């Protein structure tokens, strides 16, 4: 198909995606694009369809209509153009194509060390114990070391994952995705349950990740969205309500009217509830 500049070509094109569950329309004609080297947030009230959309991208849920066109490619700068409909692939095939997902709750192996968790996540690993028994190469060791430095866990590499804080477990799981060399990283509420300092560090980590990968985030913390997002898609009742920069979205009257159903936005990105308090 020729060569294309990845800086202007979407890595994923979501085209007219709809899905129904027992008559309930969870998504209706959702169309948007995910760009490389950008952090794209999907926000909206509970039940808006955000997680369902991630489920469709990674093959967990099949749409009743529409396509998810993946253009892939792992080389920086110029790459060969590919054109794959992810809705036709299995979950395993989608992972192999370079779509990595981290769910809200960290799912690290707490009885293993940080290093061992990274080892079992290496691309091509077949099983937990098989991975630990198999001798990894010097190049793979260097890869793990680089990622542990990247996620600020190098000094924890010999500690059991159980000893990590909630935020550190989230970072470890992100590292376990990165060691698989993805093209697109999907993160579902990555700062849920974190304190202010860990939230700040997670935002910095996501910005660093976007220098190499496309990052898609589902999140409710509006201050975090404002600080980290390149682009924001607001969903409501299974449809796209508004798209734009964080500032554009948070200033939109339609967003103020429907988001979380808790009243109006402040310029800070917080939502004022019916009692006059603020809820991020």
pLDDT, one tens digit per residue, over 145-159 is 999 999 999 999 999
Tell me, yes or no, whether 40 and 88 share the same domain. yes
Q: Is 13 helix (H, G, I), strand (E, B) or coil?
A: strand
Determine the average pLDDT of the residues in 269-280.
39
Same domain, yes or no, for 49 and 136?
A: no
- Tell me, yes or no, whether 96 and 213 share the same domain: yes
Both structure tokens of 133: 């028994």
* Domain range for 137: 109-163
Does residue 269 lie within any of the structural domains? yes
Answer yes or no: is 171 within a domain.
no
Is residue 169 a part of any domain in this protein? no
Nearest to 81 by CA among 94, 69, 68: 69
Are the C-beta atoms of residues 93 and 60 closer than 8 Å to each other?
no
> Which residues in 168-257 belong to E strands, given as ranges?
184-188, 214-218, 231-236, 239-244
pLDDT, residue 133, reads 61
| Same-domain status, 101 and 114 | no
Q: What is the pLDDT of residues 168-210, one digit of tens each?
A: 999 999 999 999 989 999 999 999 889 999 999 999 999 999 9
Number of domains in the chain: 2
**Stated pTM of the model:** 0.85
- Computed over every residue of the chain, the mean pLDDT equals 85
Q: How many CB atoms lie within 10 A of CB 20?
A: 14
CA atoms of 8 and 185, how far apart (whole Å): 18
- For residue 126, is it within any domain? yes
**CATH number of the domain enclosing 254:** 3.40.50.300
My answer on whether 71 and 10 are in the same domain is yes
């Amino acid at each position: 198909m020729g060569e294309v500049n990845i800086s202007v070509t979407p890595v994923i094109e979501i085209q007219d995606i709809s899905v129904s569950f027992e008559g309930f329309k969870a998504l209706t004609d959702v169309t948007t694009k995910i760009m490389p080297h950008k952090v794209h947030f999907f926000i909206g009230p509970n039940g808006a369809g955000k997680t369902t959309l991630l489920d469709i991208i990674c093959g967990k849920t099949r749409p009743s209509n529409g396509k998810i066109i993946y253009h892939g490619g792992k080389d920086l700068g110029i790459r060969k153009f590919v054109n794959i409909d992810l809705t036709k692939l299995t979950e395993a095939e989608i992972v192999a194509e370079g779509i990595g997902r981290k769910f809200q709750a960290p799912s690290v192996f707490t009885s293993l060390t940080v290093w061992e968790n990274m080892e079992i996540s290496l691309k091509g690993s077949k099983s937990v114990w098989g991975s630990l028994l198999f001798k990894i190469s010097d190049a793979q060791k260097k890869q793990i070391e680089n990622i542990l430095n990247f996620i600020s866990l190098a000094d924890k590499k010999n500690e059991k994952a159980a000893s990590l804080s909630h935020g550190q477990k989230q970072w470890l799981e992100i590292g376990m995705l990165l060691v698989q060399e993805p093209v697109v990283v999907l993160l579902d509420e990555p700062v849920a349950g974190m304190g202010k300092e860990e939230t700040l560090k997670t935002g910095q980590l996501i910005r660093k990740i976007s220098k190499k990968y496309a990052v898609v985030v589902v999140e409710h913390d509006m201050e975090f969205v404002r600080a980290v997002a390149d682009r924001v898609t607001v969903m409501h009742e299974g449809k796209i309500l508004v798209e734009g920069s964080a500032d554009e979205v948070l200033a939109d009257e339609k967003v103020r009217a429907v988001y979380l159903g808790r009243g109006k936005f402040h310029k800070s990105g917080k939502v004022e509830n019916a009692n006059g308090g603020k809820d991020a």
